[in-house]
Amino acid sequence: MLIWKGTEQFLKNSKIRVIKRISYHLVEYLIKKSELHIPRDTIILCQGGGNFGDLYMEHQNLRKLLVKNFPEHKIVILPQTIYYNDLKGMVKDFEIFSKHKNLHLYVRDQISYKQVKFHI
């Protein structure tokens, strides 16, 4: 909850206008129905929280859905610690993320940074 509150305060202090906040379930539903339309000049922001990897698949699947379905958008993924139990799954995920031409992934520790630099 504190990460979300900090993100909201940062957006407010930076005078960044948030157009819409959407949950994973709604994004997944709208993408499946081809009803999620985001203007190209809109930045897609994914909140941080240390859930990048295979421990919290709901969050990871959301990011993969966005990256696959919005290849022309700038996507920003806020501070993450990267953790995988399954190395093959990690390689598959990084293959997906590395194909996006305007993806910005911010990590919060050196171990995660080294993983990203190695795979992307």
pLDDT-based confidence at 88, cuts 50/70/90?
very high
Does the pLDDT at position 1 exceed 90?
no
d(CA 47, CA 61): 14
* Tens-digit pLDDT profile for residues 43-68: 999 988 878 999 999 889 999 999 99
Could you count the other beta carbons within 10 Å of the beta carbon of residue 47? Answer: 16
* Tens-digit pLDDT profile for residues 8-30: 899 999 999 999 888 888 988 89
* Mean confidence (pLDDT) of the chain: 91
* pLDDT number for residue 14: 93
Tell me, rounded to whole angstroms, the distance of Cα 33 from its chain centroid.
21
